[in-house]
Structure 1
Amino acid sequence: MAAAVPLIRSLPDCTDFSKVVQPYLPQLYALPQQFLHSATNLDDLKQLYVSTNPLIFAFAFSLALAPIFLVLSEINKNYSQVDRCWSILPTIYNIHYDVWAHMNGLPAYRLDNVVAFSTLWSLRLTFNYWRKGGYKIGVEDYRWEIIRGKVHPALFFIFNVTFIATIQSVLLFTITTPTYLLLLASRATATNTLTPSDTVFVRTLMSLILLTFFADQQQWDYQNAKASYRQTARPTQRFSAAQLERGFVTSGLWRWSRHPNFAAEQAIWVGLYQWGCWATETYWNWTGVGALGYLILFQGSTWFTEIVSKGKYEEYAEYQRRVGRFLPKVALTGFEGWDEDEVKEERKRKGKKKE
């Protein structure tokens, strides 16, 4: 059995930080020197890997990436280095937990399924980022460009060191920490099958990924139609001239949520956290820090994005009034959303009042 993880019989004890993390923190400090000592010997590297607590190893990897992101961003003045790896790093961490469990002979069927949904998440996000041109040299997240233009270079460098390069890298590790709890819980119960509850979590996570795909595709179709309309002045059969002139999508899932893709994206990692809670028979635990950090990041990022959109599009304030940011607005009559006919009639009424 693996000595790098504690042998725990009680499922709630799998979430006890003092038992499952704290005893292994010294490995974090010793790991860099041990890695350098073993770097030239494959067998030594393998032994170092299997004998290091998987959570500590993943954390160390996220910290090691931070200076790489920092140096690359400062060399080419492109601060989207973490963004380029966003779609693959969480899956790399999940694969790591799964591989580590297999190499140490631990039950890993739950982790196999985590890797399956995580890989699908990565493929969807990678494809969406690629078709938007995110991997092209010189393409940078417009948010960093705006912030860089508004603050002193020294302050932006500090921001880059602390948040862009380091905190974001560590965050992508922390959202996968529930997978560590699933590893410990599977070992504690010595089961290597999915329970009915596990199946529900897997299917829910897969469904959320499918939802993000539809939301992204609807956004992509609209932006392409808008670009075509600007060149030809001819609306497509799917979108009217009024919709295309508005500048932002208000149909499909976007009729009910201003950011349906972001809503599902956040729900995915909250769902993984809830899976870890369920598997360890706890209502909450320390791995929720990752999901909470992800929610906070999306709140701040979306807030900033909407400030830009509100200044860019005349009707965006009305869109904000009618449609919920992430979840649909609920009224006594049901869900509230963007109604094209209703908006058209209201615009006519306002025009008559002005006359």
Structure 2
Amino acid sequence: MVALPALSALEECADFSKTVEPFLPQLYALPENLGQVLAGRQSLSALYVETNPLISGFAISIILGAVFLVAAEVNRNYSQVDRFWSLLPTFYIAHFDLWARLAGVPSKRVDAALLFSTIWSIRLTFNYWRKGGYNIGSEDYRWEIIRQYVPKFVFHVFNWTFISFIQSVLLYALAVPVYTLLLSTQFEPNLTSADFAYLAVELGLVLTEWFADQQQWDFHGAKDHFKAHGKVAQGYTQKEIDRGFITRGLWGYSRHPNFAAEQSIWFFLYQWSCFASRSLYSWTAAGPSFLVLLFQGSTWLTELITSGKYPDYRDYQSKVGMFVPTSFSPYKASAAQPKVIRTSELAKKLEQKQKQK
């Protein structure tokens, strides 16, 4: 039996009481059913199709959370989720797509979501790889800083809850709006012009994120070139290199254009699901909403560290919005304040010169 809710109207696709609550018993029964599979009394494919895809996807995120927890504690490396960040949302969307095909449910809208998500994954995975994220022992520098300021036990609890499990579930929650898209295909199986518009917006945001990350990558390459050769790379100025952080291109309008695009990608997927179900809002907002809160905290920490390294960063903060541009004009650094030389300092210098004579 196909494990989808019996809905009578498109708007019901966003109704938590009709699309989620009836299937919660499947979650509680899943361990026993998996035991039946291991005992050979039921096939895995049959259990997969007979289980609501929202429930089975959530169960997978919990299992992966346990894997991340063990890997982090064994290796004393807390970037285990980071290594899968660019892959898991697409994995879960592919899960919805696979389930729809096996269950014989129309999947064109899910296919469209999977298309943009796959491109998103390829781009973000490549960017994470070239920064050394997959190198053995690599870890987000912010975890080390946090460990310095909190007791060891507190940090382990932080790992057991937020780092491993909550982040794992979050990555699933980002893909959950696709469940609503899947349900909506029962009423509108074919793609509409609105679907193509949302797909275009998503691809545009992925492209924006690529430009932002590439601009940052090029700037850091210019910094490394100056450190290695003592020469300013072509296309850059000594002033930019001395400043230490990028303020050109998209970064002249937003302090974190890549982060802004990342949050927008998942917000618009949620909006896509709302449009598909003719709803102003729905419970699937939980994923993108929590992502925004997460970015607020992580970006605050990142900027706290950055402002401590670069003296001009506070001026940059005062003129450029964190995510959303606050001006139509790009960032312009404040004019350097002339150094004030006090008369007492002049007197000391004059006295020193007389002694040297």
TM tier relative to shorter chain: over 0.9
CA distance in 1, matches of 2:263, 2:39: 41
Give the equivalent residue in structure 2 for 1:339: 332
Give the equivalent residue in structure 1 for 2:234: 237
Give the equivalent residue in structure 2 for 1:260: 257
Report the CA distance between 1:35 and its aligned residue: 1.4
Which among 307, 310, 313 is matched to residue 310 of structure 1?
307
Report the CA distance between 1:148 and its aligned residue: 1.0
Give the equivalent residue in structure 2 for 1:64: 63
CA distance in 1, matches of 2:92, 2:211: 26
Alignment TM-score, normalising by the size of structure 2: 0.93
Specify the code of the residue in structure 2 equivalent to 1:284. Y
Which among 223, 243, 268 is matched to residue 271 of structure 1?
268
Report the CA distance between 1:218 and its aligned residue: 0.5
Specify the code of the residue in structure 1 equivalent to 2:150. V
Q: 2:161 matched to 1:168?
A: no
Aligned residues: 342
Report the CA distance between 1:192 and its aligned residue: 2.8
- Whether contact under 8 Å (1:310, 1:316) holds in the other structure is yes
Which among 284, 289, 301 is matched to residue 298 of structure 2?
301
CA distance in 2, matches of 1:306, 1:279: 38
- Whether contact under 8 Å (1:329, 1:337) holds in the other structure is no
RMSD: 1.4
CA distance in 1, matches of 2:111, 2:177: 14
CA 1:41–1:229: 2 relative to 1, 3 Å: farther
Q: 2:272 matched to 1:289?
A: no
- Whether contact under 8 Å (1:109, 1:194) holds in the other structure is yes
CA distance in 2, matches of 1:223, 1:54: 43
CA distance in 2, matches of 1:42, 1:196: 46
Specify the code of the residue in structure 2 equivalent to 1:95. A
CA 1:42–1:65: 2 relative to 1, 3 Å: farther
- Whether contact under 8 Å (1:66, 1:166) holds in the other structure is yes
Report the CA distance between 1:39 and its aligned residue: 3.3
Specify the code of the residue in structure 2 equivalent to 1:203. A
Specify the code of the residue in structure 2 equivalent to 1:246. R
Give the equivalent residue in structure 1 for 2:76: 77
- Whether contact under 8 Å (2:206, 2:261) holds in the other structure is yes
Specify the code of the residue in structure 2 equivalent to 1:23. P
**Deviations for 1:89-138, whole angstroms, at most 9, x for unmatched residues?**
00000000011011111110010111100000100110000000001111
Specify the code of the residue in structure 2 equivalent to 1:30. A
Q: 2:47 matched to 1:54?
A: no
CA distance in 1, matches of 2:39, 2:145: 44
- Whether contact under 8 Å (1:69, 1:81) holds in the other structure is yes
Report the CA distance between 1:320 and its aligned residue: 0.3
CA distance in 1, matches of 2:270, 2:41: 34
CA distance in 2, matches of 1:41, 1:262: 47
Give the equivalent residue in structure 1 for 2:33: 34
**Aligned sequence identity (%):** 49
CA distance in 2, matches of 1:116, 1:42: 36
Give the equivalent residue in structure 2 for 1:127: 126
Report the CA distance between 1:313 and its aligned residue: 0.7
Report the CA distance between 1:41 and its aligned residue: 5.0
- Whether contact under 8 Å (2:109, 2:185) holds in the other structure is yes
- Whether contact under 8 Å (1:328, 1:337) holds in the other structure is no
Secondary structure at 2:274 match in 1: helix
CA 1:351–1:60: 2 relative to 1, 3 Å: same
Give the equivalent residue in structure 1 for 2:206: 209
CA distance in 1, matches of 2:145, 2:170: 23
CA distance in 2, matches of 1:290, 1:56: 16
Specify the code of the residue in structure 1 equivalent to 2:94. I
- Whether contact under 8 Å (1:181, 1:276) holds in the other structure is yes
CA distance in 1, matches of 2:239, 2:203: 35
- Whether contact under 8 Å (2:212, 2:257) holds in the other structure is yes
Alignment TM-score, normalising by the size of structure 1: 0.94
Bigger radius of gyration among the two = 2
CA distance in 2, matches of 1:325, 1:158: 30
Report the CA distance between 1:354 and its aligned residue: 6.2
Specify the code of the residue in structure 2 equivalent to 1:197. A
CA distance in 2, matches of 1:233, 1:224: 13
**Deviations for 1:53-76, whole angstroms, at most 9, x for unmatched residues?**
000000000011111101100111
Q: Point out 4+ residue stretches in structure 1 off by more than 2 angstroms.
A: 39-43, 352-355
CA distance in 1, matches of 2:263, 2:41: 38
